[in-house]
Structure 1
Amino acid sequence: MSAVYDTWRGTVALSIVVPVFNEEEVLSVLVARLRPILDGCGEPYEVLAVDDGSTDRTPELLEGVRSAWPELRVVTLRRNSGHQAALTAGLHRARGAHVVSIDADLQDPPELIPDMLALARADGLDIVYGVRADRSTDTGFKRRTAGAYYWLMRRLAGSFVPAQAGDFRLLSRSVVETLKTLPDQGQIYRLLIPSLGFRSGRIAYQREERAAGATKYPLHKMVLLALDSVTSFSALPLRLATAIGALSLLVCLAFFVWALTVHITGNTLPGWTSLMITVLFFGAVQLFCVGMLGEYVARIYTAVQGRPTYFVARDTEEEKQ
């Protein structure tokens, strides 16, 4: 890590990547909390606000803030590409020896950034995760679904996945450079980064309520995130489909033996109900298995196309050159 760190020492020590999408209500609060913390670190820094195709006044407000905050750098995507794609754009363009990613909603406290940096330097860590030790501000449904997600991911992807660690983390330049060498097709960083095996530490905190505005992760996006996480890091669903197929075959054989026995004994009865149940059951099983295969085929299709997950329309840092 030291060689890479020395290479980047002459630029900025710390980059903060903040994906934003329609966050006009929270931007002023974000700046009011984040800037004093970074100014107080005594380190050269930059803040990359990645505008993920906002349709409200977010771009206009970012320009206003940038005029008074020279360390703010605005990266604008051509269209809404999703949170993980915006995060990828920020990580790939960050120049810092250490890079911190944080959401704009302030549910993850930016006050922990100096502690994360100090821990990484003191212990020689490449990654410092922000772990949500207390989620009492979330709804009961949110806590249960989040708990189920991390429980499932730790069993499918591996125990290396830290529980309750989202996208609030600090990365060394070595980790960022490694991420840049990987394909950017639908990365799930909360699973991908732990799988790299870099030395890591954790800082626990209480998750706060959203400072302003509405959540950008409704239920359907959480479901899609879980589906992408499963299909990206585990082949278990394919094996599950095979197991279901084998079980269905055994059930089918049992029905065949039962039907043959009934026919031989002469106890045949009109079997419309049993026939319909059998047809519907096996039809549902087949559709489930085909659908699961389709999810993996879709990922292969996307990877073969090789299209970037985002397109940058503007980077204010490039306008200075």
Structure 2
Amino acid sequence: MKHHHVETSASLAIVMPVYEDAEASERLFRELFDQFGRDVFVVAVDDGAIRQPLDIHPMRSAFLEGVVIRLRRNVGHQQAIAVGLHYVADHLSGAQRIVVMDSDGEDLPSSIPHLLSVLERDDIDVVVASRKSRQESLLFKVFYVLYKFLFSLLSGRNINFGNFMALKACALKRISAMQELWVHVAGCVLASKLRLGYLPLDRGPRYAGHSKMNFESLALHGFRGIMVFAERVLVRVGVFCTVIGGLAVLAAVLAIWLKLAGFATPGWFSVALGILMIVFFQTGAITLMTLMLTGVSRSGMVSTVDYRAYIDEVEHV
């Protein structure tokens, strides 16, 4: 398919997914123009909204240059970002800096210059925003700490950032060629082996409306982040289960020896051997389930060439 490059003088492109958040995004458009004027090109991805579909007029009335990409259906936050990043990679050849942010106001436009200033360093390809303060509920904070612990334990990597980030054009070229981008944006950036810079930033309050994230969505989002490192998770779980299974076998051999030597009390041997057999078979089952999940996660990744199939319409300012 032939690429049609968008004519723009802006060297900064901002990608944002929008889902049932038209009111908040309108305010964000105005603030982006106040911050950057004509030096920014906005790629707003309407993720199949029905109640509040994103219209092109708020972007036009804010005097912003950009496009509204309307998707055929709701594909989710991460895949909407992936569509926007692929659009930038294909159509905005002049964009040397790309920012990914949410449209609800929690990612502050005033923080973008700070990200870009760190991005200017030669030894950094991507700058990610690590949160200094959060305004979420206690349940969310507890879940987030638990998620980071499990992520580190299973993948061997630390993740303390979300989607708010700034990338150089070379970094966009790299991650747009990775299937992991469709699963989890932050996990993909970690897996890309790009040189990361971390910038602690405060999270702002929503401009309007309520968050569409619930506990189930957060749990699914966390699981998808771990899926990016499925092979590494499989190795770690496999090694752990092998060690436990080996210990169970050794303990079973010891129990049999004690039984034959006459040291086992009546009933003790059968109970101990039964428990050890359960432990052994459970570790084997966990390893098998992890192997199956790894295959499912890999086979379920979307091909990087299919992003155009999601697009229903692209409207330009």
- TM-score relative to the length of structure 1: 0.78
Counterparts in 2 of 1:126 and 1:42: CA distance versus 1, 3 Å = farther
Show the counterpart of 2:61.
68
Counterparts in 2 of 1:277 and 1:251: CA distance versus 1, 3 Å = closer
Show the counterpart of 1:78.
72
Unaligned stretches of 5+ residues in structure 2: none
Counterparts in 2 of 1:307 and 1:98: CA distance versus 1, 3 Å = closer
1:17–1:99 contact (8 Å) kept in structure 2: yes
Show the counterpart of 1:4.
none
Show the counterpart of 1:91.
85
Give the 3-state SS of the residue equivalent to 1:166 in structure 2: strand
Q: Structure 1 stretch 188-197 or stretch 95-104: which is displaced more?
A: 188-197
Taking the TM superposition and a 5 Å limit, the aligned residue runs for 1:81-160 are 81-94=75-88, 95=92, 96-121=95-120, 123-124=121-122, 125-135=124-134, 137-154=135-152, 157=155
Number of residue pairs the alignment of both structures matches = 303
- Displacement of 1:97: 2.3
- CA offsets, 1:149-169, max 9 Å, x none? 33444565556x5x5321101
Amino acid at match of 2:148: Y
Counterparts in 2 of 1:119 and 1:271: CA distance versus 1, 3 Å = closer
1:255 matched to 2:252: yes
- Write the distance in 2 (CA, Å) between the matches of 1:238 and 1:9: 48
- Displacement of 1:102: 0.7
- Displacement of 1:196: 3.9
Unaligned stretches of 5+ residues in structure 1: 1-6
- Displacement of 1:18: 1.0
- Write the distance in 2 (CA, Å) between the matches of 1:17 and 1:250: 51
2:70–2:311 contact (8 Å) kept in structure 1: yes
Amino acid at match of 1:289: T
- Displacement of 1:198: 4.3
Give the 3-state SS of the residue equivalent to 2:205 in structure 1: coil
Counterparts in 2 of 1:307 and 1:221: CA distance versus 1, 3 Å = farther
Counterparts in 2 of 1:157 and 1:79: CA distance versus 1, 3 Å = same
Counterparts in 2 of 1:87 and 1:292: CA distance versus 1, 3 Å = same
1:221 matched to 2:217: yes
Taking the TM superposition and a 5 Å limit, the aligned residue runs for 1:227-246 are 227-233=223-229, 235-246=232-243
- Displacement of 1:84: 1.3
1:294 matched to 2:292: yes
- Write the distance in 2 (CA, Å) between the matches of 1:167 and 1:263: 62
- Out of 27, 46, 50, the position equivalent to 1:51 is 46
- TM-score relative to the length of structure 2: 0.78
1:14–1:97 contact (8 Å) kept in structure 2: yes
Counterparts in 2 of 1:126 and 1:257: CA distance versus 1, 3 Å = closer
Q: Percent identity?
A: 22
Give the 3-state SS of the residue equivalent to 1:107 in structure 2: coil
Q: Structure 1 stretch 30-39 or stretch 269-278: which is displaced more?
A: 269-278
1:36 matched to 2:34: no
